[in-house]
């Protein structure tokens, strides 16, 4: 079954880049920052992009429902009887954007019957678009060059000397020491955007991305996981169970995932999952939450 035509797929690809190209210039100008929750910030750039992407996706797909991060009224569509949902994050990695760093992205993903089908991740500071899904394969577009197939790069297997892992700053603070005790070769790295972290795993810069702090939302995960799964990455929780996008696995107030999230190459997860489980258990037992 085909969920998108070639022309629709191409239209989204053009839309994501065209919406994102103005962001680096906006980052150099004055913009307002608002605190919408504890250590959770939004800018008026996020909100403007949110409105622009909502209008464009609604025009392209009038029969579908569109859920965006900055329009909380749209979140109720997740519990509707809609088969197709578009999940939009207008600026994934807002903290990086605020601080003048480069690792933020515009993201869109298609969820069909609670399955991630296709995704787009555009990094404005690099003019680099990653996109694809199970129907089309995976691609990248850099600058004005035509899209090219994206070949996933498998990193060297984990060893006693080599084990690159992506772990966010909050998770490093709580779980980093315990993971290092159980996996002495672990070396942690972190970039701002959830989607760009997943792309670092896909391109072989890390073997595994671990996300444990329970704040990641549907608009953060739908697009990146559609691309990751199409590339052959494993997407599971701490028990090794596949990630679910069904209402029983979500916080229905915030649309945050209730499962911890591990995204990585099969060889890394098969080798490291027992040690990660033990590390998280020990840190959860002996460290303050």
Length of the chain: 289
Residue 37 has pLDDT above 80, yes or no: no
pLDDT tens-digit readout, 174-224: 999 999 999 999 999 988 899 999 999 999 999 999 999 889 999 999 999
Architecture of the CATH domain 163-286: 3-Layer(aba) Sandwich (3.40)
pLDDT of residue 43: 87
pLDDT tens-digit readout, 43-79: 889 999 999 999 999 999 999 999 999 999 999 999 9
Rounded to the nearest integer, the mean pLDDT of the chain is 94
CA dist 285 and 289 (Å) reads: 9
Tell me the domain boundaries of the chain. 6-149, 163-286
Q: How far is CA 92 from CA 45, 145, 191, 282, in A?
A: 12, 24, 11, 31
What is the mean pLDDT of the segment spanning 256-278?
97
User: Any idea what the Cα angle at residue 37 is, between residues 34 and 42, rounded to 5°?
Assistant: 35
Q: Could you tell me the sign of the dihedral formed by the alpha carbons of 56, 57, 62, 67, in that order?
A: negative
Q: Do domains 6-149 and 163-286 have the same CATH topology?
A: no
CA dist 243 and 235 (Å) reads: 6
What is the mean pLDDT of the segment spanning 19-38?
85
- H helices of the chain, in order, are 6-20, 23-27, 44-60, 94-99, 169-171, 177-182, 194-202, 218-231, 266-286
Burial 232-262 (b: 16+ CB within 10 A, else e): ebbbbbbeeeebebeeeebeeeebbbebbbb
pLDDT tens-digit readout, 98-143: 888 899 999 999 999 999 999 999 999 999 999 999 999 999 999 9
Residue 287 has pLDDT above 60, yes or no: no
Domain 6-149 is classified in which CATH homologous superfamily?
A: Fructose-1,6-Bisphosphatase, subunit A, domain 1 (3.30.540.10)
Nearest C-alpha neighbor of 108 from the set 24, 13, 29, 200:
13
């Amino acid at each position: 079954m085909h969920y998108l035509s070639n022309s629709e797929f191409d239209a989204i690809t053009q839309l994501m880049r065209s919406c994102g190209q103005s962001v680096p210039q906006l980052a150099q100008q004055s913009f307002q920052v608002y605190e919408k929750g504890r250590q959770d910030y939004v800018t008026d750039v996020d909100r403007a992009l949110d409105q622009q992407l909502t209008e464009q996706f609604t025009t392209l797909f009038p029969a579908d429902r569109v859920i965006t991060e900055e329009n909380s009224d749209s979140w109720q569509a997740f519990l509707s009887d809609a088969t197709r949902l578009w999940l939009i994050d207008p600026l994934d990695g807002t903290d990086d954007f605020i601080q003048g760093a480069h690792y933020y992205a515009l993201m869109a993903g298609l969820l069909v019957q609670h399955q991630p089908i296709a995704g787009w991740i555009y990094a404005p500071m690099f003019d680099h678009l990653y996109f694809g899904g199970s129907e089309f394969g995976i691609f990248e577009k850099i600058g004005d060059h035509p899209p090219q197939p994206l070949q996933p790069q498998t990193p060297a297997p984990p060893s006693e000397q080599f084990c690159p892992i992506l772990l966010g700053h909050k998770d490093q603070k709580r779980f980093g020491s315990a993971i290092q005790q159980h996996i002495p070769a672990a070396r942690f790295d972190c970039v701002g955007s959830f989607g760009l972290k997943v792309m670092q795993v896909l391109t072989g810069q890390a073997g595994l991305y671990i996300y444990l702090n329970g704040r990641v939302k549907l608009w953060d995960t739908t697009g990146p996981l559609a691309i990751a799964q199409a590339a052959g990455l494993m997407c599971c929780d701490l028990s090794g169970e596949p990630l679910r996008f069904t209402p029983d696995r979500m916080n229905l107030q915030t649309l945050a995932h209730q499962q911890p999230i591990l995204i990585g190459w099969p060889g890394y997860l098969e080798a490291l999952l027992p040690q990660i489980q033990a590390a998280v258990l020990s840190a959860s037992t002996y460290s303050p939450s």
